[in-house]
């Protein structure tokens, strides 16, 4: 039976790859982006207008999230994917050299926004059959990995992991699954052309793993293929 997925940051990279793969199998996609008329997403809408709902959404804005919520009203969402994210500056995010304003901006998108979106659309998820919220995190947020460098990005992913685990514990009794994923090192604008896998491979793995996940996997931190990651 076709499901409805809502994906933030659906206009490029992993988000667009997820949307493309989902409509190819007949699912409906609410494709949320700051610019839903961007070329890649517009092309997908033109090919699958009956399956894609382009939705303007700035995840950093309370007003924008509220407007998107109002536009979608009570539409059930089987799977909400918090995909929108930023890396931050390529320099000045080290332990000894930090751009603090940029660090705040990274947290706004990578930490505060996923919870803001989850709060807003929780009733839509609860009204669905799927009842899943997935957040694209990163292995770079693993403290057990003894990391160095990329402090702004790494700390934001550690923080969103904690935020979503606390959220997951709060909604578990409602039957809503909350999942965290490392999507792989993906060939996107963020990952770069020298990354390990294309967006299509990441998207296929994420979709399959999310399909197989339920309340028993709430608060798990896994790769796109379902491999557990140390916190």
pLDDT band at 147 (very low <50, low <70, confident <90, very high): confident
Domain of 211, in residue numbers: 4-223
pTM comes to: 0.96
Q: What residues have CB less than 8 Å from 98, skipping those under 6 apart?
A: 92, 151, 152
Determine which one of 132, 138, 142, 153 is catalytic: 153
Does residue 135 fall inside a structural domain? yes
Which residue among 157, 158, 177, 213 is the active-site one?
Answer: 157
The answer to whether 137 is a known catalytic residue is: yes
Q: Does residue 161 fall inside a structural domain?
A: yes
- Within-domain flag for 172: yes
**Residue of 168, 181, 160, 178 whose CA lies nearest to 225:** 181
Give Cα 52 to chain centroid, integer Å: 17
User: Does residue 9 belong to any structural domain of this protein?
Assistant: yes
Total number of domains in the chain: 1
157 flagged as catalytic: yes
Identified catalytic residue from 87, 132, 137, 156: 137
Output the domain CATH number for residue 158. Answer: 3.40.50.720
Verify whether residue 92 is a known catalytic residue: no
pLDDT tens track for 108-144? 999 999 999 999 999 999 999 999 999 999 999 999 9
pLDDT in tens, 26-70: 999 999 999 999 999 999 999 998 999 999 999 999 999 999 999
Q: Which residues in the chain belong to E strands, given as ranges?
A: 4-8, 28-33, 52-56, 79-82, 93-94, 97-98, 132-136, 177-182, 221-223
In this structure, is residue 202 part of a structural domain?
yes
Task: Give percent above pLDDT 90 in the chain.
Answer: 90
229 lies in some domain: no
Spatial contact of 108 and 34, defined as CB atoms under 8 Å apart: no
Residues 16, 40: contact at Cβ < 8 Å?
A: yes
- Mean pLDDT for 158-165 is 98
User: Is the Cβ–Cβ distance between 218 and 172 less than 8 Å?
Assistant: yes
């Amino acid at each position: 039976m076709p499901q409805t997925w809502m994906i933030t940051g659906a206009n490029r990279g992993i988000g667009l790859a997820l949307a493309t793969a989902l409509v190819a199998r007949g699912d409906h996609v609410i494709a949320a982006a700051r610019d839903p008329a961007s070329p890649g997403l517009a092309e997908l809408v033109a090919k699958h207008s009956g399956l894609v709902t382009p939705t303007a959404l700035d995840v950093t804005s309370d007003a924008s999230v509220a407007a998107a919520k109002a536009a979608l009203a009570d539409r059930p969402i089987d799977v909400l994917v918090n995909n929108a994210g930023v890396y931050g500056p390529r320099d000045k995010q080290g332990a000894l050299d930090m751009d603090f304003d940029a660090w705040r901006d990274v947290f706004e998108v990578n930490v505060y926004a996923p919870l803001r979106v989850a709060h807003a659309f929780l009733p839509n998820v609860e009204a669905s059959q799927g009842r899943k919220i997935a957040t694209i995190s990163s292995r770079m947020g693993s403290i057990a990995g003894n990391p160095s460098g990329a402090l702004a990005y790494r700390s934001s992913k550690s923080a969103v992991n904690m935020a979503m685990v606390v959220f997951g514990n709060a909604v578990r009794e409602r039957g809503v699954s909350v999942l965290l994923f490392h999507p792989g090192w993906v060939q996107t604008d963020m990952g770069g052309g020298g990354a390990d896998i294309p967006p299509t491979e990441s998207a296929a793995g994420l979709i399959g793993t999310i399909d197989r996940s339920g309340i028993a996997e709430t608060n798990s931190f896994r790769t796109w293929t379902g491999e557990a990651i140390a916190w």
